[in-house]
Chain A
Amino acid sequence: MTSHAEAVHGGHEHHGPPPAHKSSRVDARVLGMLLFIGSEIMLFGSFFTVYFFVRVVNPDAPSEWPPPPYEFPVFVAGINTAILVTSSFTMHWALQSIKRGQRSAFLAGMVITFVMGLAFLLTQVIEYLHVGFNTGDGAFASVFFGLTGLHGAHVAVGLTLLGMVIIRGFRGHFSPEHHHGVELPGIYWHFVDIMWIVVYSTVYLL
């Protein structure tokens, strides 16, 4: 590769670009993740907007929500909420552990977080199968499946990111100095958790 690299740089004075000047104390990757999450919040925002339209603005909205005889599985989803919120704490524990250089605690924390996320997702799939209504059963079902489905997709993305961390973690990556690869999926995972609390309160409790 060295001869190739020389070809790229044209001459022999340089071996790559000059280091970019850091004009902000914020880390570029963290800022990128936060902006991405901002965009994601707006995507959820559009789903909450349509929820607001069909339930509040719509003059023909049913007075009881969900319209009988349908019911939302509030209790099962509540247990699911507890699982997901706990997984945020284990994620934080994993990150703190790698920052302190405790590898086995880090790996244990990551695996527990991943398993809890997976349990959440599988519970949701089972909930879908037994919920007693389908997407075609009216606007209440549309927003129910819309919001929980959108969130489920985000859990799936989050699990992919956590899976990456676990694979790399077991292969010996990450250290107290280099843990951005843990921190960024962690930020995303916390976002997914907090968003679930909002979704759960809106869809199931309100």
Chain B
Amino acid sequence: MTTTQHEPEQVEAYPEHFEPPHGPTWRLIFGPGLVRGVWVAGLFFVLGMLLVAGLRFWWGWDPVWLWDVILPIAGMVTAPIGFLGGIGAFDYWLHYISGRPTRPEDHSGHGARTWKDYFRVNTDHKVIGIQYLVTTFTFFTIGGLMAMFFRAELAQPGLQFLDSQTFNGLVSAHATLMIFLFIIPAFAGIANFVVPLMLGAPDMAFPRLNALSYWLLPIAGVLFLASFLAPGGSFATGWTGYAPLAEGQPLGQTFFNMGVQWAGASSVMTALNFLVTIITMRAPGMTFWRMPLLVWANFTTSLLVVIATPFIAGSQFFVMFDRIMHTSFFTPEGGGYALGYQHIFWFYSHPAVYIMMLPGFGIVSEVISANARKPIFGYRLMALSLVGILFLGFSVWAHHMFVAGMADWLRVPMMITTLLIAIPTGIKVFSWIATLWRGRIHLTTPMLFALGFVTMFVIGGLSGIYLGSVPIDIAASDTYFIVAHIHYVLFGGSVFTIFAGVYFWFPKMTGRMYDERLGKLHFWLTFVSFNATFFPMHYIGLRGMPRRVFDYDEAFGDLNFVITIASFVLGASFVVFVYNVVQSWVRGPVADANPWRAHSLEWQVSSPPPIFNFDEIPQVVGGPYEYGVPGARHAVMRSGEAAREVQHA
């Protein structure tokens, strides 16, 4: 980088349409950035407050200052919009709306030259990917601390140091943060970094939309956390927020209703961006059947997100309207239909399980194939099984409602479709195992996590088959067996794949190598303590311990104590990961462009990749997994060839 001839403040990236104001203080306050974000958010909060109060005054409604209405509008709609405007997410569009001439994008908003650039609106997919990952791991830490907090409470029967509403609030916020602020967006972060590179594209299709969808995410996280400050405590109805229970809850529930809207909007916009990128920006020769499975996985996941997410938006709108506007969508007294909530909610939230799983399937396919030095077994079926899960995923939602009192005739069809999902999932598991068969297996840290994922996911999948069967589900519903199942699928499944992905692409993202010994230590600590935490839950669940309770029978005391100790070891294992990542990022050994000798396109450019990924778009000539196949190539890097020819000439 030849930046020395420029003044230091020019080194930071500004979007192309922004002319820096004069003077450093002036620029700090009025230039796009967090400072302007905060004061514009404050300004918009006041405006929203005056809008609500003004309208209420005009219509002559009695309490003009009604915080139950002012907070959702001013605090959760206008203030976040002000924040987004303040940090500069809308600068280009405001410029466009005002009718000024469009300027060709000069890409000055790309890349990060100082750490400060990570706190700005940045249109570079690689910067956004890292922004996503750092943000989501921050929320992972917070959500994990919450879990340790209520595990401490559960170490003994009886109420120790929490009250019941706080306990329920912690459990709900733990699940909400882990799902909406960790697993879903962490996959979006990895995909943001990797997918355009894998496709041979210089960036995502809509870079400014990409930046906006990242910045919607912290808003959702802050709303979920701020609910703890609300009178009456945080939302305490579980992450499912069932109506009509949620409708009589204190103000904290509204934070959940609105937080989900922001997280959902973020996820829909990213998904849309992925779909358009994958369809329109593939390198020449990159047919659908030559795409790496990670791209396939994100293609199907994005379809799920675009189709399903509006349903959770709808369900939370209805609950909020019932709470604030006295409608009766789900209140039987007013003629509403309470069970409708669960149908609408699970019509999103069951596909959401696959939104939280399919990108992990993609990551694991990459890791296992590269580390077993073998072509992935059954590439086309691997891709088609993703599509199969996409379709089947929409037909199983009511298996969450076997005991909810829904129509009896729905049970068996839902059971059959649920069990059918074992077929595409089984194809994937057997294909991974067949890929390993007689491969030259390198037990690197990402590979360990991938193998850990396959084993743990099989356990979670098998208990899923139990729970998909109506008779067993009726017996096991609302017990710790469910808690064990969900954690085997989402921790042993999704979180392991996120770790695998972060370790696998760490050298590509940072240009430095992580510490392999610490990585292995992290894996074994996590793997053992994860099983020690969640495996006994199968047992106490089948013995009859109900979930979501702060007090339980004395008979479960010993095992719960063991679980609590194990969960603290699990928490401690994460410290190893954080230390490894931070230390390696700052002063780890410089990584090669292709430490795994992998074939897909992101490994054919430097680590970290150049600012526009490729000097010239590569030509794809074969499949991405032809390990050990003589003469096979995935792609020809054109400018490299050209440069060499020039040298020879």
Contacts and interface: CB of A to CB of B under 8 A. Distances in A.
B344 interface: yes
Contact of A46 (B101, B110, B313, B610): B313
Interface string A24-44: 101110011001101110110
B276 A28 contact: yes
A1 to B, nearest CB: 7
A21 B329 contact: no
Interface in B616-634: 616-617
B197 to A, nearest CB: 13
A20 B313 CA distance: 34
B337 A58 contact: yes
A13 B328 CA distance: 64
Contact of B336 (A10, A47, A139): A139
Interface stretch (B202-210, B292-300, B447-455, B500-508): B202-210
A63 interface: no
Nearest to A150: B317
Contacts of A5: 106-108
Contacts of A53: 337, 339-340, 343
A7 interface: yes
Contacts of A61: 335
Contact of A23 (B97, B286, B313, B326): B286
Q: Which applies to chain A's interface (DSSP): helix, strand, loop or mixed?
A: helix
B281 A23 contact: yes
Interface string A130-153: 000001101111110110000000
Nearest to A6: B2
Interface stretch (B5-13, B231-239, B424-432, B560-568): B5-13
B381 interface: no
B10 A7 contact: yes
Contacts of B647: none
A147 B343 CA distance: 18
A135 B11 CA distance: 55
A4 B283 contact: no
Interface in B161-188: none
Contacts of A170: 99
B325 to A, nearest CB: 5
A146 to B, nearest CB: 7
B149 interface: no
A191 B585 CA distance: 48
B307 A39 contact: yes
B315 A32 contact: no
Contact of B315 (A19, A46, A138): A46
Given A14-B612, A50-B340, A3 B6 contact: yes
A200 B470 CA distance: 40
B98 A57 contact: no
Nearest to A60: B335
A69 interface: no
Nearest to A163: B97
B276 A32 contact: yes
* Interface secondary structure of B, over-half rule: loop
Given A23-B282, A45-B311, A173-B99, A136 B325 contact: yes
B344 A49 contact: yes
Interface string A93-121: 00000000000000000000000000000
Contacts of A38: 306-307
Interface in B102-123: 102, 106-108, 110-111
Nearest to A178: B102
Specify which of A26, A31, A140 lies most central, judged by the most chain B CB atoms within 10 Å of its CB: A31
B279 interface: yes
B318 A50 contact: yes
Most chain B CB within 10 A, of A19, A32, A61, A167, is at A32
Contact of B615 (A4, A18, A58): A18
A26 B328 contact: no
Interface residues of A, number: 62
A8 interface: yes
A58 B333 CA distance: 12
Contact of B205 (A9, A32, A60): A32
Nearest to B16: A1
B123 to A, nearest CB: 11
B110 A8 contact: yes
Nearest to B20: A4
B3 interface: yes
B372 to A, nearest CB: 30
B216 to A, nearest CB: 15
A46 B99 contact: no
Contacts of B202: 17-20
Given A138-B335, A139-B328, A164-B96, A7 B280 contact: no
B390 interface: no
A10 B113 CA distance: 11
Contacts of B272: 32, 35-36, 39
A8 B340 contact: no
Interface in B92-147: 96-102, 106-108, 110-111
B62 to A, nearest CB: 14
Contacts of B325: 135-136, 145
A60 B340 CA distance: 13
B601 to A, nearest CB: 12
A16 interface: yes
B332 interface: yes
Given A8-B108, A46-B314, A54-B337, A167 B615 contact: no
Given A42-B307, A46-B310, A49-B343, A142 B282 contact: no
Interface string B232-276: 000000000000000000000000000000000000100011011
Given A7-B1, A28-B206, A173-B102, 16 more contacts: A10-B2, A10-B611, A20-B201, A20-B617, A23-B283, A31-B276, A32-B209, A42-B310, A49-B340, A54-B337, A139-B329, A139-B336, A140-B335, A142-B328, A142-B329, A173-B99
Interface of B: 1-3, 5-6, 10-11, 13, 16, 96-102, 106-108, 110-111, 200-203, 205-206, 209, 268, 272-273, 275-276, 279-284, 286, 306-311, 313-315, 317-318, 321-322, 325-329, 332, 334-337, 339-340, 343-344, 347, 610-617
Q: Which 6 A-B pairs have the closest CB atoms?
A: A46-B314, A17-B612, A139-B335, A53-B340, A17-B202, A136-B326
